[in-house]
Amino acid sequence: MRWMLLVALLPLAAVAETDMKFAYYRDQAQALDDGGLAAFLDAYIGACRGFFDGQRCVDKAQRFRDQHTGKKLWSVIREGDADNLRMAEFNPQTNEYTLLITPVFADGGHYLTDGKPERVDERGAPLFRVLAVPVRAPGGLTPMQVSRMYSDKLLRVQFVFSPLEVWSLERGGKPIFGVASRLHAVLVTVGATGERIGAWYEPAPPKPSGGKKKPKQ
């Protein structure tokens, strides 16, 4: 019965997840292959530490990086796995609050990050400033209900990024690896319905100055 309900909701989700600005970024990007973010990170980092790993493994990872570095890619963290979202400063009078996105996407034991981290937090995760997005809660929901969407991991995250380089840090005396990237856009929706919660976009680059106008003769 639950499966039939999810199938019935799919057309609604497809419509609700349409965000014109995010769609612009997504349509410029290449979707990750089967295996998603975990497979991409493993191939990009190149875990060549086994007994039978050798130069062939190193060369394969380098070829993969050469093919993907700087390219715009699109990935999804599905509900149940999105643990980099929080809410803050809920105003019950206006139903507005701040969506906090930590630009660290973990999958398969590796990390994708916006830029290169310098240290880890007390939990051993790469430490970054959060991205703050002002949003309005769906009508009729109480602060407690909105909070449960985050604590129960009911939200889905789509993001567009360009990988740049591999990084490593120490956690508990052991190395952890990740891929530093440029994050272009992030869209957060309700996983079951596709309802838009909020979105973050990279700042627009500064416009070049036109220079001084020549005085009229």
Task: List, for residues 131-175, the tens digit of each pLDDT value.
Answer: 999 999 877 778 888 999 999 999 999 999 999 999 998 887 888
What Å distances lie between residue 37 and 31, 173, 179, CA to CA? 10, 26, 11
Task: List, for residues 48-86, the tens digit of each pLDDT value.
Answer: 665 456 677 888 889 999 999 999 999 999 999 988 999
The three-state secondary structure class of 91 is strand
- 41: pLDDT confidence band, cut at 50, 70 and 90? very high
**Taking Cα atoms as reference points, which of 49, 71, 192, 174 lies closest to residue 124?**
174
Who contacts 167 (Cβ-Cβ below 8 Å, separation ≥6)?
113, 116, 117, 177, 178, 179, 180
Q: Can you give the pLDDT at residue 5?
A: 31
Q: Can you give the pLDDT at residue 142?
A: 83
Average pLDDT of 24-37? 89
Query: Tokens standing for 91?
Result: 């105003």
Instruction: Calculate the average pLDDT of the chain.
Output: 83
Of the chain, the percentage scoring pLDDT greater than 90 comes to 52
- Which range is least confidently modeled, 29-33, 123-127, 188-192, 193-197? 123-127
